[in-house]
Amino acid sequence: MSVSSRIRMQVVRSVAPEAEGSASASAASAKLGSHTTGVADSGRWSTRRIAMYALFVALAMVTSFIEFPITPVTWLKYDPSGIVCLIAGFAYGPAAAAIVSVLGFVPHMFANPWGSLLAVLVALFLSVPAAFIYRKIRTRKGAAIGILVGAVLAIVVALVGNLIVTPIYAHMTYQAVAAMILPILLPFNVAKMAIHAVITFLIYKPISNLLSKQQ
């Protein structure tokens, strides 16, 4: 074998491991990116991802104004904005759920700051835990568990929040609010979370699939 042939073989052998290492690094990077939620797959906030967040925020704002009673107590009104927060969390992760939950109620902050603060807290405790659980268990069972856990937490936050916030902006005594928990506030919040849960469970998968096809 000539000297030049030996040199060429050594160069090929030295380059091959580098190429293999680069390929394995790229594969590992792709794996990490595929599990990323809440931001773009590359780990950065892509223009498309920001646009989708803005769309969900706008939907949450609009649906927060669609209010109607669901119990005999007509001054307690249901709005479907929590469904939007849940679907955003399932589609894009806990960060999206948090952003949509907070920004979706900005228009209400000016007219009813205390009520809006409570609504934001309820939406956060509903959608963010649900999104965390669904990110770990990406099945219909995981979605059901996430919604259930989020609903229970949201109900607790709603009841405790009413005890703190309602006396401030509704000019009611703490005792009067506490007396409404079992006969009025608890049934309303259970009914509200049940509606959120059923509708979200029925529509989240088709919407997520549609969003995935467009990426």
Give the C-alpha separation, 117 to 105, whole Å.
Answer: 8
In the CATH scheme, what is the code of domain 47-214? 1.10.1760.20
Q: What is the pLDDT of residue 55?
A: 96
pLDDT value of residue 170 = 79
Alpha-carbon span 18 to 29, nearest angstrom: 16
The single-letter code of the amino acid at 180 is: M
CA dist., res. 200 & res. 29, Å (int): 32
Q: How far apart are CA 188 and CA 110, in angstroms?
A: 25
Residue-level pLDDT at 158: 97
206: its two tokens: 């088709």
Q: What is the DSSP string of 148-188?
A: HHHHHHHHHHHHHHHHHHHHHHS---HHHHHHHIIIIIHHH
Q: What burial class does residue 141 get, using C-beta atoms within 10 Å of its C-beta: 0-12 exposed, 13-18 middle, 19+ buried?
A: exposed
Question: CA torsion, points 194, 197, 200, 205, in degrees to nearest 10?
Answer: -140
The pLDDT value recorded for residue 95 is 95
- Can you give the pLDDT at residue 44? 59
Task: Please tell me the predicted confidence (pLDDT) of residue 1.
Answer: 52
Give me the pLDDT at residue 56, please.
97
Instruction: Give the pLDDT confidence score for residue 171 in this predicted structure.
Output: 83
pLDDT per residue as tens, the chain (215 positions)? 554 455 455 544 544 444 444 444 444 444 444 434 434 344 457 888 899 999 999 999 999 999 999 999 999 999 999 999 999 999 999 999 999 999 999 999 998 899 999 999 999 999 999 999 999 999 999 999 999 999 999 999 999 999 999 888 878 899 999 999 999 999 999 999 999 999 999 999 898 888 877 66
Residue showing tokens 């939950």: 101
